[in-house]
Amino acid sequence: YREFIYLMMNKPDGVVSATYDNRDETVIDLLEVEHQVFEPFPVGRLDKDTVGLLLLTNDGSIYNNIIH
């Protein structure tokens, strides 16, 4: 059993840093189903055309500490 999940992703070009988008592929769409079930969300945002490191987690406390 795992409560929280922490993932690092090298976000590719053309993918949206969001949990859902009705037009474009999202970083969540790139995850394996075994990780999607934890309902992670991106910490911060990268533009659609930006490539780079992106942290995804379902740990709201860590999210708040990093963002603030």
| Average pLDDT of the chain to the nearest whole number | 95
What is the average pLDDT across 7-32?
97
**Tokens 């769409």, located at residue:** 29
Q: What share of the chain is helix, strand, coil (3-state, %, to 5)?
A: 20, 25, 55
- How many other β-carbons are positioned within 10 Å of the β-carbon of residue 25? 14
- How many other β-carbons are positioned within 10 Å of the β-carbon of residue 45? 13
**Are the C-beta atoms of 44 and 67 separated by less than 8 Å?**
yes
- Indicate which residues carry an active-site annotation: 47
pTM of the model: 0.89
What is the average pLDDT across 46-60?
96
